[in-house]
Amino acid sequence: MGDLPLEVKVDIPNGKSYTQPTGLFINNEFVYPKDKKTFEVVSPSTEEVITSVYEAKGEDIDIAVDAAIEAYKSWSISAPETRQKVLLKLADLVDENADLLASIETFDNGKSLQNSKGDIALTAAYFRSCAGWCDKITGNVINTGGSHFNYTQRVPVVCGQIIPWNFPILMLSWKLGPVLATGSTSVLKSAEQTPLSALYMAKLLVEAGMPKGVVNVVSGFGKIAGAAISAHMKLDKVAFTGSTLVGKTIMKAAADSNLKKVTLELGGKSPNIVFDDAKIDAAVQHIIAGIFYNSGEVCCAGSRVLIQSGIYDKVVETLKKAVEDIKVGDPFNPETFMGAQVSEVQMSKILQYIESGKEQGAKVITGGKRSEGKGYFVQPTVFGDVKGHMKIAKEEIFGPVVTLIKFDTVDEAIEIANSTEYGLAAGIHSTDINKCIGVANRINAGTIWVNTYNDFHPMVPFGGFHSSGIGREMGEEVYHEYTQTKAVRIKLDTTGFK
């Protein structure tokens, strides 16, 4: 403790070596926290400690917030082209460093290199999309008659951002893209399970020309650094992605402190519905992408698959075969689709859900166990004969476990789909576009995918209904989440005019 250098050399199992920052990134520098405490970072695929990093506590958060407030003074009124340049350069740097960033992500999170590469491509694309918005954040002129002139402005915020471990770099981009585009400033806390890529991205922010203090990145724990951010008296906003439970805690802390704005992107138990007239092979591929992508650690995972009775047996047979072909294991092997779960804690939670499914009478069609050997690997698991009351049908498992539920009619499918406290996403598979749109109209969720799943675009907003959250990321809507309206009403004195 205390003698860890601010940079360490890390050797990644795929032969890459690089210099990893370990400090808190404040005012464009890596610095020690006040008490110089560190914590270990574990690789879930090898169960080994990669390095330690420095931990932020409340007083470090105060320093980072002050840096963000100071930077706001000029950044919030900077020319849009200035911000655009930073975002475009950042996107290029992400592309140039794609192999290294993907490798860091895979080492720290356990996800397959295939999946990490996809995340990095989406990250660069998102920063580019945000660059295009810098000069499109406008207000209105409001006509209330000749006696006054009224206009509105969108004013950026000084915010705290708390991200999870399932998509460390991608979630950082969803948070920082709109900050940089709107002229906001931020203190971003990574998840304690996966701090490495955010610190590396901080180096790229400097290289991209970001002025000091605009974005500050800290590693630390939820109950300490995260709590300090959500309760901070000087922040205008807190943006969070993670569990519904913690989302509620953050909203309470925001209310009890200074009523800062809150956006929450939380959990889900999303239905993925396959109708009798669907193309079976394509639907099966989307079921797999929906639940086994990123080892199932996806907030919008299609974890409840509802299959119409006429094709139930055929879908189960095709799915079983396809799932048994999924390559699970060494995440650095380019062929691997599913890597390790993020931590031992997460793996144990998933295995407990699998046991509860067995105990409550669901049938394991395939999988159902931890994989042999080192690393937190869980087999892709399919449960059949699942009934609505079972825990595996109701609660978010956040792992590679899917429940299959049979239905007869469209009304029944919608009833089951909507019988959840969540409302993040849903999938519909059918060749009848009228049915697809009709069903989409009746499902309560923030995102509906038709004949696709886990399919994102920077211009399409994402976020949840009900317990899945508040606010939207991406699309045009996110720029409203990072600005607040200022209305200016001017009383005119026109008496001098003839």
Residue 192 within binding range of ligand NAI, rule CB under 6 A: yes
Look-up: residue for tokens 């990321």? 473
DSSP category for residue 293: G
Q: Which of 41, 250, 382, 405 binds ligand NAI (CB under 6 A)?
A: 250
Residue 192 binds what, of ligand NAI, Mg ion, none (CB under 5 to 8 Å, by partner type)?
Answer: ligand NAI
CB of 253 to ligand NAI, least distance (A): 7
Residue 192 within binding range of Mg ion, rule CB under 5 A: no
Q: Which of 36, 148, 223, 252 binds ligand NAI (CB under 6 A)?
A: 223
Nearer to Mg ion, 38 or 194 (CB): 194
CA separation for the pair 331, 107 (Å, rounded): 8
Contact 32, 54 (CB under 8 A): yes
Per-position x/- string for 258-287, each x denoting binding to ligand NAI as judged by CB under 6 A, each - no binding: -------xxx--------------------
Exposure of 229 by Cβ count < 10 A (0-12 exposed, 13-18 middle, 19+ buried)?
buried
Helices (H), 381-496: 391-394, 410-418, 433-442, 478-481
Look-up: residue for tokens 């793996």? 347
CB of 132 to ligand NAI, least distance (A): 26
Q: Which of 55, 60, 105, 108 binds Mg ion (CB under 5 A)?
A: 108
CA separation for the pair 12, 9 (Å, rounded): 10
CA separation for the pair 147, 127 (Å, rounded): 43
Nearer to ligand NAI, 84 or 294 (CB): 294
In 275-400 the beta strands, taken as DSSP E runs, fall at 304-308, 363-366, 381-384
Residue 108 binds what, of Mg ion, ligand NAI, none (CB under 5 to 8 Å, by partner type)?
Answer: Mg ion
Which tokens is 361 given?
Answer: 């009478």
Contact 148, 208 (CB under 8 A): no
CA separation for the pair 157, 232 (Å, rounded): 14
Contact 329, 423 (CB under 8 A): no
Helix/strand/coil for 75: helix
Which stretch, 40-48, 88-96, 217-225, 459-467, contacts Mg ion (CB under 5 A)?
40-48
Residue 246 within binding range of ligand NAI, rule CB under 6 A: yes
Residue 322 within binding range of ligand NAI, rule CB under 6 A: no
Per-position x/- string for 139-178, each x denoting binding to ligand NAI as judged by CB under 6 A, each - no binding: -----------------------xxx-x------------
Positions touching Mg ion (CB under 5 A) are 42, 108, 193-194
Positions touching ligand NAI (CB under 6 A) are 162-164, 166, 189, 191-192, 221-223, 226-227, 230, 241-243, 246, 249-250, 265-267, 299, 346, 349, 396, 398
* Positions marked catalytic: 265, 299
